Amino acid sequence: MEHPNVSAFSPAFSGFAASASGGVPNVLTERPHTRVPSADTVLRGVEELTTENISYTAEKTGNVYDFNTAEKLNQLLIKLLLATGQLTEGGAYDVDFDHQFLEADKYD
């Protein structure tokens, strides 16, 4: 079953949104000229980065596995790295990714 998935960063964004709206002590007070968007603006941005899960059915077992490449988030991160000079246009880079395994009480 496909359903929208906000990447693994969503708890971090939610925490940031709560902090930005004053729900949690604001760690940005040390930088008084930093402009922070409202919580609803941050969450709207998270929704815009949401991508659909891709489902894979194992031929041998028929089990369905969902995964998400978070393509919109990855493209945003690359644009930010280019804008901040941490990557250069036309450079060659190896991109690493991590898997997140969730323990379950079943075996395939």
Query: In this structure, what DSSP letter does residue 31 have?
Result: S
Q: How does pLDDT run along the chain (108 residues), one tens digit per residue?
A: 333 444 444 444 445 555 555 554 566 667 778 788 888 998 998 899 988 999 999 999 998 988 888 889 889 999 999 999 999 999 998 878 777 767 777 765
Does the global pTM surpass 0.75? no
Under a CB-based contact definition with an 8 Å cutoff, are residues 54 and 72 in contact?
A: no
Conformation bin of residue 73: beta by default, left when phi > 0, alpha when psi is -120 to 50? alpha
